[in-house]
Amino acid sequence: MEGEKQYLKNMTRGELAGFFSEMGEKPFRAAQLFRWMYASGAASFDEMTNLPAELRRRLSETAELFTLTPRETLISRIDGSRKHLFETGDGNLVESALLRYDYGNAICVSSQAGCRMGCAFCASGLSGLRRNLRSGEMADQLLLARRELGADVGRVVVMGVGEPLDNFDELKRFIETAGDAEGPGIGRRHITVSTCGLVPGIERMAEELPQVGLAISLHAPNDRLRDALLPVNKRYNTESLLKAARAHLARTGRRVTFEYALMAGVNDGAACAKELARRLSGMNCHVNLIPLNRVEETGFGGSGGAETERFRAALAACGVRVTVRRGLGADIRAACGQLRARAGY
């Protein structure tokens, strides 16, 4: 609409060049602005000192530098993880989590405001889907968290609120921006996308984003159990999902990660471990076990330490690569499955 400010981070480099052309400016201004936004993390147009003062004034009148406004930051007293709450221009709330590891910092980015997948144990979909996030809104989660932290963020996992492959085109634009050497410079091999099982999206990833890591939220070894936990399984069943995973591996040569949230008395028994090992036999994959993090409304409980170790050992004995994920950020409701976009804990 006329008079409405433009969100610059929602534009590709080419679109930025077109934006400047409409302003009567040279296309190289787009490259300068891109570097200021993504490499320098400029907080205002006034910081962009190689842009003429008149252009900076016009930009402040016609464009927005940030797509998100920070609202709250919570910091774990246990492990230093941070949960960031942001507000979009149209009033939606978005959360991301910044996780501290020995090898560096990683950010867990949300791809949607809400989620329509309805996984039975997850907080993110409790209020349904409000809308997809734009690429700039995903990028700002990274840039604003990095600016507040005052340190580099070397890895991105798109497994916050939302189903990334339900928003594939904007996801792809974000990944292209994040990996740009003139911007954040996070290589695609340091980016992982998590899906609950959208098979067409997995197929698109293999073709269009072959260097990006794929993580599949499996959580059950068979259709009976997976149907109850992840409604998406009624569209793309376990067999079709594992077939897509094998095809992705063959196409990209990249090992697939399977995420498996252990729920007490639900999917953590010896029979489930045996069936899971059988179904993954011969695949170059890695199973990431996650003792379920508590979400009050779901009624599920996480498996205890002994049950988790028994499950891990059973998979390992069958030759499956398996580890247990650290539960970072659980005390601030920032751990896997707990993000939901609300203020406070």
In the predicted model, is pLDDT for residue 207 greater than 90? Answer: yes
Which region among 10-19, 154-163, 175-184, 323-332 has the lowest average model confidence (pLDDT)? 323-332
148 or 277, greater pLDDT: 277
Collapsing DSSP to helix, strand or coil, 208 comes out as helix
> Of 137, 98, 95, 97, nearest to 114 (Cα)?
95
In the predicted model, is pLDDT for residue 148 greater than 90? Answer: no
Structure confidence at residue 302 (pLDDT): 84
Structure confidence at residue 1 (pLDDT): 43
CATH classification for the domain delimited by 6-64, as one of 2.170.150.20, 3.90.1010.10, 1.10.150.530, 1.20.120.430: 1.10.150.530
Q: Could you give the residue numbers annotated as active site?
A: 95, 336
CB atoms within 10 A of CB 203: 15
Spatial contact of 264 and 298, defined as CB atoms under 8 Å apart: no
Structure confidence at residue 238 (pLDDT): 98
In the predicted model, is pLDDT for residue 344 greater than 50? Answer: no
Show Cβ contacts of residue 317 under 8 Å, excluding neighbours closer than 6 positions.
Answer: none
In the predicted model, is pLDDT for residue 341 greater than 80? Answer: no
Structural domain spans, the chain: 6-64, 68-332
> Of 218, 301, 305, 220, nearest to 264 (Cα)?
301
In the predicted model, is pLDDT for residue 331 greater than 90? Answer: no
If you search the block for the tokens 């954040």, which residue do you land on? 184
- Helix, strand and coil content of the chain, in percent to the nearest 5, comes to 40, 20, 40
How far is 161 from 194, CA to CA, in rounded Å?
11
Structure confidence at residue 329 (pLDDT): 59
Q: Using 50, 70 and 90 to split pLDDT, how confident is the model at 90?
A: very high
In the predicted model, is pLDDT for residue 135 greater than 90? Answer: yes
Which region among 50-59, 65-74, 149-158, 192-201 has the lowest average model confidence (pLDDT)? 149-158
If you search the block for the tokens 């077109």, which residue do you land on? 18
Structure confidence at residue 79 (pLDDT): 84
303 or 208, greater pLDDT: 208
How far is 318 from 274, CA to CA, in rounded Å?
8
Residue range 7-24, pLDDT digits in tens: 999 998 889 999 999 999
Residue range 20-41, pLDDT digits in tens: 999 999 989 999 999 999 999 8
What is the sign, positive or negative, of the torsion defined by CA atoms of 132, 134, 139, 144?
negative
Residue range 239-257, pLDDT digits in tens: 999 999 999 999 999 999 9
Q: Which two tokens stand for residue 267?
A: 């999917």
How far is 115 from 244, CA to CA, in rounded Å?
23
Q: Using 50, 70 and 90 to split pLDDT, how confident is the model at 116?
A: very high
Question: Average pLDDT of 114-143?
Answer: 91
> Of 331, 313, 330, nearest to 322 (Cα)?
313
Structure confidence at residue 254 (pLDDT): 96
Q: Which two tokens stand for residue 193?
A: 């996308």
How far is 82 from 62, CA to CA, in rounded Å?
33
Mean pLDDT (the chain) is 90
Question: Average pLDDT of 266-289?
Answer: 97
Question: Average pLDDT of 216-243?
Answer: 97
Ranked by mean pLDDT, which of 76-90, 144-158, 209-223 comes out on top? 209-223
Structure confidence at residue 271 (pLDDT): 97
Antiparallel, parallel or unpaired: β 93-101 and 104-108 = antiparallel
3 or 219, greater pLDDT: 219
CATH 2.60.120.10 is held by the domain 68-332: no
Residue range 282-304, pLDDT digits in tens: 999 999 999 887 766 666 888 88
In the predicted model, is pLDDT for residue 108 greater than 60? Answer: yes
